[in-house]
């Protein structure tokens, strides 16, 4: 495994160049602030004239240019706008780009999928921080950093790899470590992780679990706690110490249930469908579908957002979070689930599909008993 740290990088390669951060969203704000704090003095933020980001960047003390002005000025342009707009953006930038300049990306999609076809004289590098923008900034300010992935699509100067690592070091990734990859590997694994596990797979799993319990007559609040709210406890254990740490930290009942029933839920058929998801990423089907969705104005995504917004699961979660937030604000410890769940369903959130009040009471008692049998997760 090829891992680079600050000691392996020449941050002077980026400090001595004119750098433009194109885009000032979640990642753009973090990149610009970290680069400035790492000694990159010739630094600008590029944003469209009508974008509110211009004022935000100016108020943060940055010189602001249009993307075209930045292209004509900069030695290094790092693109941090949404993937779906990269093709059109590059077409406006290319006539203004200085010969021998470098283009940086935080995601491999637009270059690997052919949405952007850079000029042959340009260095094209990847530095993908494995964390949200707020984490990139927060970890940097703590003297740490987030893990980064570095790659090169074009090395016209012979220094593209060194430049990628220098940029990552200035971003703070060199403190945690930077792994070498390629645009294709980063794109395909990132999309697969999002679709099959982290976002798509996980959200569908928790929705199915919540709906199964509610449809069998259990209280929505109990179902939400067991299938959604407590997910963080297990993910934190997994993040901290892997599968073994999870097994050592949960009850014997939970562990045996996991090994005996987990494969029934996520079995060979699911793995086969995951392979189909990866196939669609590798053969370009997903990117083509995504671009069509973008051109349509996001019809499918907007419909899904509306559906989730009005679901019983979302209303239940909002009510629970409100209770927990009030307890925290009052300076008290969160109540045990059996007491915290004295929450009425929001009006219009739906009713229990089955079960009388008596049955619901039994379900709530069973849920409380099961909760008490679990070990307290170790921090």
Domain boundary among 181, 209, 224: 181
Domain boundary among 154, 181, 208: 181
Domain co-membership, 90 together with 124: yes
Query: Which among 160, 175, 127, 153 is positioned nearest to 27, based on CA atoms?
Result: 127
Per-residue pLDDT in tens (0 to 9) along the chain, 379 residues = 889 999 999 999 999 999 999 999 999 999 999 999 999 999 999 999 999 999 999 999 999 999 999 999 999 999 999 999 999 999 999 999 999 999 999 999 999 999 999 999 999 999 999 999 999 999 999 999 999 999 999 999 999 999 999 999 999 999 999 999 999 999 999 999 999 999 999 999 999 999 999 999 999 999 999 999 999 999 999 999 999 999 999 999 999 999 999 999 999 999 999 999 999 999 999 999 999 999 999 999 999 999 999 999 999 999 999 988 876 666 655 544 444 333 333 333 344 444 434 444 444 444 434 333 433 443 3
Residues of the binding site for Mg(2+): 190, 194, 226, 230
Domain co-membership, 119 together with 204: no
Query: Which among 77, 57, 53 is positioned nearest to 67, based on CA atoms?
Result: 77
Give a yes or no: residue 216 inside a domain: yes
Domain boundary among 181, 216, 236: 181
Give a yes or no: residue 186 inside a domain: no
Give a yes or no: residue 190 inside a domain: no
Long-range contacts, stretch 85-94, CB < 8 angstroms, 24+ apart: 86/110, 86/115, 86/116, 87/115, 87/116, 89/22, 90/116, 90/117, 90/118, 92/67, 92/68, 93/67, 93/68, 94/119
Strand 76-79 and strand 63-65: the pairing is unpaired
Domain co-membership, 213 together with 359: yes
Domain co-membership, 251 together with 339: yes
Q: State in Å, rounded, how far the first CA of the chain is from the last one.
A: 29
Q: How far is CA 9 from CA 55, 175, 186, 252, 364, in A?
A: 34, 11, 21, 47, 57
Domain co-membership, 161 together with 248: no
Domain co-membership, 148 together with 206: no
Give a yes or no: residue 187 inside a domain: no
Give a yes or no: residue 189 inside a domain: no
Residues of the binding site: 24-27, 48, 51, 133, 190, 194, 226, 230, 251
Give a yes or no: residue 192 inside a domain: no
Domain co-membership, 75 together with 223: no
Give a yes or no: residue 83 inside a domain: yes
Residues of the binding site for NADP(+): 24-27, 48, 51, 133
Q: 50 and 75 in contact (C-beta within 8 Å)?
A: no
Domain co-membership, 38 together with 161: yes
Give a yes or no: residue 42 inside a domain: yes
Q: 82 and 106 in contact (C-beta within 8 Å)?
A: no
pTM over 0.85: no
Q: 191 and 109 in contact (C-beta within 8 Å)?
A: yes
Domain co-membership, 297 together with 326: yes
Number of domains in the chain: 2
Domain co-membership, 136 together with 224: no
Domain co-membership, 86 together with 13: yes
Residues 141, 144: Cα–Cα separation, whole Å: 7
Query: Which among 27, 24, 95 is positioned nearest to 65, based on CA atoms?
Result: 24
Domain co-membership, 176 together with 203: no
Task: Determine whether 107 is an active site residue.
Answer: yes
Q: Which residue in the list 31, 107, 112, 229 is annotated as catalytic?
A: 107
Residues of the binding site for substrate: 251
Tell me the residue range of the domain where 354 lies: 199-373
């Amino acid at each position: 495994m090829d891992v680079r740290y600050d000691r392996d990088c020449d941050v002077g390669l980026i400090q001595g160049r004119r750098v433009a951060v194109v885009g000032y969203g979640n990642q753009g704000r973090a990149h610009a602030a970290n680069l400035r704090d790492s000694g990159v003095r010739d630094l600008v933020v590029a944003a469209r004239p009508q974008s509110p980001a211009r004022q935000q960047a100016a108020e943060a003390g940055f010189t602001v240019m249009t993307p075209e002005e930045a292209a004509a000025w900069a030695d290094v342009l790092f693109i941090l706008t949404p993937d779906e707009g990269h093709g059109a953006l590059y077409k406006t930038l290319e006539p203004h780009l200085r010969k021998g300049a470098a283009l940086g990306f935080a995601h491999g999609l637009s270059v690997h999928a052919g949405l952007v076809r850079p000029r042959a004289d340009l260095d094209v590098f990847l530095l993908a921080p494995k964390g949200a923008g707020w984490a990139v900034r927060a970890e940097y300010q703590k003297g740490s950093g987030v893990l980064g992935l570095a790659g090169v699509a074009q090395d016209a100067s012979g220094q593209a790899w060194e430049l990628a690592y220098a940029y990552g070091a200035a971003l703070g990734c060199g403190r945690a470590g930077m792994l070498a990859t390629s645009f294709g590997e980063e794109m395909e694994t990132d999309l697969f992780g999002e679709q099959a596990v982290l976002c798509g797979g996980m959200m569908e799993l928790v929705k199915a679990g919540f709906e199964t319990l509610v449809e069998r007559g259990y209280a929505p609040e109990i179902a939400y706690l067991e299938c959604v709210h407590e997910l963080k406890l297990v993910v934190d254990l997994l993040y901290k110490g892997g599968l073994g740490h999870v097994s050592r930290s949960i009850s014997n009942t939970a562990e045996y249930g996991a090994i005996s029933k987990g494969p029934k839920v996520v079995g060979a058929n699911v793995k086969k469908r995951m392979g189909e998801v990866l196939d669609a990423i590798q053969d370009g089907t997903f990117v083509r579908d995504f671009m069509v969705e973008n051109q349509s104005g996001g019809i499918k995504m907007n419909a899904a957002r509306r559906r989730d917004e009005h679901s019983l699961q979302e209303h239940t979660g909002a009510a629970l979070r409100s209770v927990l937030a009030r307890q925290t604000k009052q300076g008290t410890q969160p109540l045990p689930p059996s007491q915290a769940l004295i929450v009425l369903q929001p009006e219009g959130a739906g009713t229990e599909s089955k079960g009388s009040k008596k049955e619901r009471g039994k379900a709530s008692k069973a849920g409380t008993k099961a909760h008490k049998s679990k070990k307290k997760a170790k921090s």
